[in-house]
Structure formats: C-alpha cells, structure tokens
Chain A
Amino acid sequence: MSLRILIGWHILYEGLYKLIHPEWSSLAYLANAQGFLSGIAEWMVSSQGVLNTVDALNTWGLIAIGLGLVLGLFTRGAALAGCVLLLLYYLFNPPFIGLAAGGPAEGNYLLVNKTLIEAVALLYIAVTPLSRRFGLDMLRKKYHA
C-alpha cells in the first residue's frame, strides 16, 4: 500500500507540475528520443497539433493515474496504465549500450533505470490484491456487492 501511495504521489505531482507550468512541453524530451521508438517521437513533434495532443494526454493521464493510485480508486487500471506509460518513457530513452544519455541525470544506469523499476513496481501493484487494500476500491466493491 505504501508503495502504491508513494508512486501515486510522484506521478500525480509530475502531472500537476505540467498543469501548473503551461510552458512545459514534451518537445525537448521527444526530440532527444533514442532507440527504436525515436521514429514515433519524431512524428509526435512533427506538428504543433500532434504535440499539443500528446502533451495534454500525458498531463491528464499522469494526474488520473496519480489520483487513482493515491486514493486507491480503480487501482488495477491506474497501475496498469501507469506501468505502460512508464515503460514508454523508458523505451523513448532507454539506457542501452551505445546510446548517449539523454541529458544530465542524477545517477548512472545500464539497462535498468528508476523508470523501469517504477514500472515494474506498478505491475506488481496491479497483480497483487494486497496493495489494493486501503482505498476507495473497497467502497466501490461494497457498493457493487
């Protein structure tokens, strides 16, 4: 449960930050994308319309996932969606051999980085019933029952 709330806090704040700072854009991140998804990233930044959509989806997706995790509401869905989103971040800039690091980082990574660990932790939350205790899902289930 604590893992769920900590990751939820992190993801929710990432979303809120982007909402509070409208000048934020995924442009720099996507433009620096490497690895086999860099083609998709190039398409995403190719026009202002696509980029705006990607930015909005990302911001609101993060907020929704973060809220779900913190409150324990639709936990399974939120955890799975979060896992997929984090894996996308991981794959847009994977710490593979031969790829340059995409900017200054607080640590050094080889194949495994914190994004990957967070993604796997969310997968664990999605498949473990224990981590879904202490949340609004309990009320939801009670109501449906």
Chain B
Amino acid sequence: MLKALAGIPILGALGIQVFRKSAYDNKHNIREEIVRELGLEDLMNAIKPVTHRKGDLIRLGIAGFGMRGPQLAQALGFLEKSSFKKMVDNGSLDAQIKEGNLNVAITGICDVFDLHAEHALATAAHDIHTGGEFASAFPVKRFRHYHDMIADPNIDAIIISVPDHHHAQMTIDAIQAGKHVYCEKSLIHREEEIYAAYETVKNSSLVFQQGHQYPQTAAFQVANEILRRGMLGKISHVETTTNRNSPNGAWIRHVDGEGKTKPGDAQSIDWKQWLGKAPEVPFSIRRFYSWARYFDYDTILFGQLFSHEYDAVNQLLNMGIPKTAYSSGGQYTYKEFGDMPDVLHTTFEYPDKDLTLTYSANLTSSKARGRTIYGQDAAMSVGGTLSVVPDGSSEQFANLMERGLVSPGSPMLELLQGSRTASVVDAVSSATAQYYASRGLTSTSIGGQEWDVTHLHLKEWLDCIRFGGTPSANIEKAFEEGVVIAMADISYREKCRTEWDPEARRIKRI
C-alpha cells in the first residue's frame, strides 16, 4: 500500500516548490517594481474600450474604388462574394465579424474606370454581416460623375478615395450638397485649396473626417497619457521617418507582381474626368496607377506618408503649424518617370515652441527608423508599438537608474501592440503592408480583441454623424496638416524655404 502511494509526497513537494517559486517571482518582479515606482499602475486605463450604439442607417456613396476604396468598404463590412467565401473559409473574417455591424449601406458608387466600378458594385451588394440580404434592400447605383452622386437624395454621406488632386474640390462640392465627408489623406494638393475647403466645412454643420486612423490605436492612447504625465521631460525634437524598399512602396503600381501592365485603356477609363483640373496629357497607364509619383496629382511623399506622420505627432503634441519649412532630396534610383524623390528630407522649425520637427524618407532602404519624440528625460518611439527609453542624463529617472531598475538606452516601458494573430499576419504579409502595420495604420488590440484601425476610424465618423461630436481627424487638424504639407511641398518643388504668415494666413517663399 505504501509503495503504491510513493508518488504522493513527491507531488506535494513539487506543489510547495511551485508555490515558493511563484511567491519569489512575484516579489522580485522588476516590471511591477518599475510600474510602481513610476506610478503607472493605471496607465493602461488610457485605452478606452470600444462602445457600440446602433443608431439610424447611414447610406454611403464611395468615390474611387482603386486600392484604398476596397479597404474602406471592407472596414465598413462589405466584401465581394468570392473574397468573402475565401476569407470565411480560412477564418480571417472572424475578427471583423466580431467588430460589429456599423449599420451602413453603400448605395452609390463612382469610379472613372469600368473595372473598378464593377468591383465596387459587387462589393457594395454584399454585406458580410448578413450575407448580402440586408444590402439587397438598398440597391447600389453606379454614377458616371461624382456630381451626380453627391446630388442623389438616397445618399447621406460620401467617402472620397480618389487621387489627391480631386480631394479638396470633391469635399467642397459634397459638403455644399449637404453630405457628410470622409476624405482620404491628403485633403489638399495646392495651397489655395486649404482655405476654400476649410471655409466650406467650417461653415457647415456636417461631419468631416480625414483618413488618419492612427489615433484609434491603443499605442496612441497610451502615448498620449505618457506625454500628459510629462515623462519625457522637455521635448525639442520630433523625428518622423519613412523607410520602404520596393517599386510598389515607391508607388510604381502600373505593373503587377509578374511585371505585366495592369488593365485599363482610354475606352474603359474616363480620362478627362480623371485628369480634372490637372494639365491635359494623353491617356497614360503609368499616370493612372502611379499618380502619386507626379506633382500634377499629388504632393508626393508629403501627401502620401508624411501626412500620417504629421497627423500622429500633431494629435499627440498639438504642435500645429511651424514657422518655416525646408525640403531637399533627389531621385537616385527610380528615375524612369514622375517626380517622386527616393530620398527626401524636410525640417520644420517651431521657434515659439522651442521645437524642430524632421521628416526623413528613404524609398530605397527598408531599415526602419520609427517615429520618435525626444525629451531630455526619455525618448518615446511610437507606432504600432510603443517604447520609452530613459536618457542617461535624466533627473526624473536618476533614482531608478542608480538602483539598476532601468538602464539608459534600454526600453523601460513597452507596449507590444498586436495580439499573437497580428504577429503572424505581419510575418507573412508584404513589405509595404508591414510598413503600414509598423506605423500603427492597420490593426490594434483593445479589450483583448484585434481591431481594424480603419474600421474604428470610420466608426468614429459615423458615430459623430449619428450622435454629434467632433472626430479626431477633424477640419482644424486637416487645415494645419494642409498648411504643413503645402509648405514642405512648395519648398521641394520650388527649391526655396517657406514661411507661414499667421496674420495673413498664407505661405510665403523666402
């Protein structure tokens, strides 16, 4: 009998050892000690839970269904049937279905390219939450011209995801037609447009949101709280960067992965409408797909990626418009067409705030440099993840460093954003998709759930339409961003320094 029970005392001994080890680990948990010392026990409360309020149905019209349009439609809960089936089968829609139904219908579609318009019609007719039944009650109409779409009484709000040179005019026209507007970045292409768009939106009671989804992330909310608590000390330099290394990442997008030219010709594309007010040129498939590379249609890297960088740091620091800006760079690798530089640097000076903002972009190296706010006590890098590194000369953290709890140059606080699923997704996605994820532009983890950041950003806009309030990327922020982009863009194109005149509210060349 005793022989049979020989294992019991061993089990008891293991139990005691496990208990002692847990007790020891808990007592000697450096992480918790740092959190205690810094008074950060409630830091994660900064992450606001996502709330659901249904509200009335909102009928949407989408202008532009190239690359961003389908992503926005999916974030709203609409997906073309074949992709829907594929994603249901591999379980990748589970998270999105959990995100909840935004109670919207896409009732209008406008794209100058027949192929894109057909894709849009197929997508809009298929609501992922109800397998298409709900959406079928609201027929989707294709409009040949956006003027007709914004005039349609069966549409409450417009989503603009066309090339940048149309953004401001479409926003103005839509607001004047009484529609709420969600406009992709950047709102402006040329300086004059900033003032016209701002006046129009300001003088209306409609809700305007720009497509900067970053403030919806958990990392942003925690970063905001860290800044509010003054953990970084005096901040004199904010560094923003872009690093990608692929033709697609450099907006060379008229060829597919196999080097074949993408579809589209003068017959299937309304080229005149696509050009709009831009200089008249013969139909060009390069310009159609790779428009971001041309001064004629975009503010190059500024409108494409710097706009996200600026919005992120402006939302965090409320730095507003700088006094001066100076840009320089060059086209060293992708020289075949367009005006997009591969390497670009801009310095923005804020003498009143004792602050310099820099933007450094490289389209021929993917070595990531992050987005960093440098303070005298600590530096914070913030994107999809967040990391705070104490400074060796910091007085605020001298005690902690002396006690060896934190060491200069090593992170003392990190928010490793994204759940396990997100890390897997990142590991298999393309380089450009990884870039967006690293900047916090794709997904975030709130309340133990993975959220599509664009879904949350659209939800904020829709909530403001239904229940009132001002969205995060509102017209005031869009105005500041528009001025900053125009200052950088003029400086690069005209090879001069630019200065903001706050009295005249105009940009000067100096």
B-binding residues in A (CB < 8 A): 1, 5, 8-9, 12-13, 16, 20, 25, 27, 31, 45-49, 51, 67, 70-73, 133-139
> Which residue in chain A gives the minimum CB-CB distance to B95?
A48
- Interface positions, chain B 1-17, Cβ under 8 Å from A, are 1, 3-8, 10-11, 14
> What are the residues of chain A within 8 A of B92 when measuring CB–CB?
47
Q: Contact between A13 and B7 (Cβ–Cβ < 8 Å)?
A: no
> Which residue in chain A gives the minimum CB-CB distance to B15?
A16
Whether B18 is near chain A, meaning CB under 8 Å from some CB there, is: yes
A31–B10 Cα gap in the complex (Å)? 35
Q: Contact between A134 and B3 (Cβ–Cβ < 8 Å)?
A: yes
| Interchain Cβ contacts under 8 Å between A and B, 29 examples | A8-B7, A8-B10, A9-B10, A9-B14, A13-B14, A20-B18, A27-B420, A27-B424, A31-B424, A46-B424, A47-B91, A47-B92, A48-B419, A48-B420, A48-B421, A49-B91, A49-B94, A51-B420, A71-B7, A71-B11, A72-B4, A133-B3, A134-B3, A134-B4, A134-B6, A135-B4, A135-B7, A136-B4, A136-B7
Instruction: For B10, give its contact among A27, A51, A70, A137 (CB under 8 Å).
Output: A70
> What are the residues of chain A within 8 A of B7 when measuring CB–CB?
5, 8, 70-73, 134-136
Whether B22 is near chain A, meaning CB under 8 Å from some CB there, is: yes
Instruction: Give the number of residues in B that approach A within 8 Å (Cβ atoms).
Output: 22
Q: Contact between B14 and A27 (Cβ–Cβ < 8 Å)?
A: no
Q: Contact between B11 and A138 (Cβ–Cβ < 8 Å)?
A: no
Q: Contact between B4 and A47 (Cβ–Cβ < 8 Å)?
A: no
Most buried by A among B22, B421, B427: B421
A-binding residues in B (CB < 8 A): 1, 3-8, 10-11, 14, 18, 22, 90-92, 94, 419-421, 423-424, 427
Distance to closest chain A CB from B387 (angstroms): 18
- Given contacts A27-B423, A48-B420, A138 and B14 within 8 Å (CB-CB): no
> What are the residues of chain A within 8 A of B5 when measuring CB–CB?
136
> What are the residues of chain A within 8 A of B420 when measuring CB–CB?
25, 27, 48, 51
Distance to closest chain B CB from A75 (angstroms): 10
- Given contacts A47-B90, A48-B419, A134-B3, A13 and B18 within 8 Å (CB-CB): yes
- Given contacts A13-B18, A49-B91, A72 and B6 within 8 Å (CB-CB): yes
- Given contacts A12-B14, A71-B11, A45 and B424 within 8 Å (CB-CB): yes
Q: Contact between A47 and B421 (Cβ–Cβ < 8 Å)?
A: yes
> What are the residues of chain A within 8 A of B1 when measuring CB–CB?
139
Q: Contact between A70 and B14 (Cβ–Cβ < 8 Å)?
A: yes
> What are the residues of chain B within 8 A of A20 when measuring CB–CB?
18, 22
> What are the residues of chain A within 8 A of B3 when measuring CB–CB?
133-134, 138
Instruction: For B4, give its contact among A25, A46, A139 (CB under 8 Å).
Output: A139
